[in-house]
Amino acid sequence: MTLCVLVMALIGISLTRKPTDNQCARQLSMWCKSLGDLEAFKHARLTFLSAPALEAVEYVTFDFDNAFNSTSKYRGPPTPEVEEVWFNLTYKHAVEIPEDKIAGLNRSEKDHLAHVPADVGTGYVALLEVFYQLYCLNMIRMFTWWQAGKYPGVPSGLYEAPEDVFRNRMHIDHCLESLRIALMCWGDVTPLLVRLDRQGYDGRKTDFNTHHKCRNWDKIESWMDENWTVYNLYAHSPAIPFRNTLSNLGYLGHIILAGWIAYDGVIFWKRQTNFNQKYATIQDIDNVGSYSSVNPPLKQPSHHWGYGRIMLGFAWQVMLCTAIFLAGSVITAAILPRQH
């Protein structure tokens, strides 16, 4: 009888005890799967697969600082300081996913996943998705300032040529869709309360400083910075704030020294343009963001290269080859005896 009471008490405690933060984090991760009921009963415990960065998940409780008139280092027009903090949020290295763990991500070897370099390991290369989502948010931020003519130069990941307008639109649409999917996946159901405020619309103002229990971002970011294993592999190239104010000679030099790069660039550009036009047709887009009365022209930088940059590369290549040929002819004439 005493044993039965003890067992019932233990069952009652287990049913009423709140799960820990770590257990909740595991439950929300698709990679952290428990064994099936039969296996769990056989082993008398639950076994989890360890997800990357899960050990860094720590929860903190606080109110958002998100009023309309609040300030933040991430807000405001593009300045070197603003660009730097956004760059630090998004430019991260990659981690290795062991081969035997990808099944938890609904993937297999048949999906042709990219392996990490051989000197790193045998697993697959991956980023934490939150950093890509932040990249997309930053891309939209830069695009809006660029559209307003307030972004010096061309934002990283976008293109300045008018014929690339559809390519830019595809990039932004992809980022918008990525964020939509993520927001609807997590589905934050925190209530937004309304304050009585004479200065607000109709005497009311929505309270956006909501109370949340969040994952400690500093700890997640520190984990990523300390535990990456693949240097900048398949990551987005770093943004260069106001890169148009820098010299174009570095990029142009690659074309000068290798004419075949310029040739391949023309072929790729034509294929990409055709693909962009196809995307525009499918999405029923009519010159979105191009020069029209509805959409004013983007503020173009002073140096506009496009095809000119490619042709200039060829011109330099021809000049270089001609100079080498002439120099060779002079040297040959000086060394070899003249034939009479």
Q: What distance in Å separates the CA atoms of residue 209 and residue 217, rounded to the nearest whole number?
A: 18
Q: What is the per-residue pLDDT for 90?
A: 87
How many degrees, rounded to 5, is the angle at CA 52 between CA 176 and CA 171? 20
Say whether pLDDT at 276 is over 80.
no
The confidence score (pLDDT) of residue 298 equals: 38
pLDDT average, residue stretch 36-43: 38
pLDDT of 53: 74
User: What is d(CA 266, CA 241) in angstroms, rounded to the nearest whole number?
Assistant: 27
Q: Give the mean model confidence (pLDDT) for residues 216-236.
A: 79
Report the distance separating Cα 261 and Cα 45, nearest Å.
59
Band (4; pLDDT cuts 50, 70, 90): low
Distance between CA 70 and CA 205 in Å, rounded? 14
Q: Compute the average pLDDT of residues 259-285.
A: 42
How far from 259 is each of 146, 254, 263, 321, CA to CA, in Å?
Answer: 32, 9, 6, 11
Q: What is the pLDDT of residues 126-166, one digit of tens each?
A: 889 999 999 999 999 999 999 999 998 899 888 888 778 88
Residue 63 CB neighbours (<10 A):
11
Give 207's DSSP letter: -
> Measuring CA to CA, which residue among 301, 319, 171, 300 is closest to residue 248?
301
Question: Residue 324: what pLDDT?
Answer: 80
Asked whether 35 and 104 are in contact (CB, 8 A), the reply is: no
pTM of the model: 0.63
Whether residue 182 contacts residue 174, with contact meaning beta carbons closer than 8 Å, is answered with no
The residue among 326, 67, 53, 27 whose CA lies nearest residue 207 is 67
pLDDT tens-digit series, residues 52-63: 677 888 999 999
At residue 59, the 3 state secondary structure works out as strand
Please say if the pLDDT value at position 292 is more than 90.
Answer: no
Summarize the confidence of residues 59-81 as an average pLDDT. 93
Domain boundaries, the chain: 18-51, 52-92+127-335
The first and second tokens of residue 48, run together, are 């989890």
Name the pLDDT band for 64 (thresholds 50, 70, 90): very high
- Please tell me the predicted confidence (pLDDT) of residue 179: 98
Q: Where are the alpha helices (DSSP H) in the chain?
A: 2-16, 21-27, 37-43, 80-90, 129-147, 165-186, 217-227, 249-257, 259-282, 307-335
- Contact indicator for 83, 91 with CB cutoff of 8 Å: no
Q: Residue 120 has what pLDDT?
A: 87
Q: How confident is the model over 167-202, as pLDDT tens digits?
A: 899 999 999 999 999 999 999 999 999 999 888 888
